[in-house]
Amino acid sequence: MPHYIKVLMPCLLFFLDSTLPDQPVFIRNGSLEDMPSSGKPPKEWFFCGAVGESPPDIHPNGLFGVTKKPAHGATFVGLIVRDNGTSEAIGQQLESPLKPGVCYRLRVYTCRSENYLSYSRKTRLPANYDKPVRLTVWGGNQLCYNRDLLAVSVPVDWSAWRPIDFEICPEKTCNHLILEAAPTEEGQSYNGNVLIDFIQPLIPYDTLAGRPEADMVTMEDPKPGSGRESWENLIYRTVRSQGLRSVFEDTFGNAYHANPDWWTFFRTAVADDMAVQINLSAGRADLEPVIREAALEAGYPLKHLRLKKNRRKTRDSGFRWKSRQLLVIDL
């Protein structure tokens, strides 16, 4: 390679990087989907609370008197603060870091449960963790430590699901994101809860204009009652999809990161309460993570999705209904 190219190449790469638009930062399993249980963070998330205390709970699990339905998908997480001064938190390592000098919008759906029945760590007596708390957002470069406070919500005192849009403007690069319950006033110790669900991609945001830096495609939410002809057209379009992912939003401004065709497919399956079995041939195994991600982003209950991988190449792509509520697709 000529010497002048070696000299100019770093300058060219720096110029291209500085002129490209800032990219969204994606959240894995933002829908917080997993088997309902107590004392266990959902898949892709780690426990980041006090040593010796129990991890958060995945609801609805029939415990603690929590009766809320999810805001998205089939499960959500409850975070609590305790009268001994400890709190619960979950976090994950981001696919790409948050950059200093860039502001992001982080949308999280939240509410408070009127009942969260357990025992007081302080008195050892039954207690209701029903008081409002704040939701705090931290960024850092380790699992739980050396973290910086990025945003704090108002006290979550509402009982119906409602989105909170956090404005995240980190002062340094952050590879980890942590969500933690916190008392309404610093230094307080009491029993309270906040429920969280549908944690969305961090979208680069123009804070002055009050909108995302880049325009996003808006996807219409399917209506229930799709006929066979509509389903057939949807299936033909979906199975031809190349599996590419993109960022888009729905008519409510919620952001998603998935393949749009598969997302629309699973949103339609949600609307029509359709169970789906997908048989993947050996040559299409690369679609498995794309399909699972789209199902999660669409809020499709994973217990209704059956993915079967075959070692041999199967017949041509096709589909059939095993029953009115079970669709089988061969890929």
Residue whose tokens read 């669409």? 298
pLDDT interval class at 19 (50, 70, 90): very low
CA dist 316 and 279 (Å) reads 11
The mean pLDDT of 142-170, rounded to a whole number, is: 93
> In whole angstroms, what is the distance from residue 133 CA to residue 191 CA?
9
Q: pLDDT confidence of 52, banded at 50, 70, 90?
A: confident
Cβ contact 83:187 at 8 Å: no
Q: In this model, does residue 29 exceed pLDDT 80?
A: yes
Determine the pLDDT at residue 196.
98
How close are the terminal C-alpha atoms of the chain, in Å?
A: 45
- pLDDT score of 311 more than 80: no
Which pLDDT band, with edges at 50, 70 and 90, does 313 fall under?
low
Above 90 in pLDDT, residue 189? yes
Give me 170's structure tokens. Answer: 């980190």
The pLDDT tens digits for 96-154 are 999 999 999 999 999 999 999 999 988 999 999 999 999 999 999 888 877 899 999 99
- In this predicted model, which residue has the larger pLDDT, 246 or 183? 183
**Looking at residues 58-68, what average pLDDT do you find?**
92
Higher-confidence residue: 298 or 10? 298
187, β-bridge pairs: none
Residue 275's identity, in one-letter code, is A
Q: pLDDT, tens digit, for every residue of 200-219?
A: 999 987 766 566 666 778 88
Residue pLDDT, tens place only, 230-276 = 888 888 888 887 778 888 999 898 999 999 999 999 999 888 888 88
Higher-scoring residue by pLDDT: 313, 58: 58
pLDDT greater than 70 at residue 17: no
- Mean pLDDT for the chain overall: 86
| Neighbouring C-alpha atoms within 13 Å toward the C-beta of 142 | 5
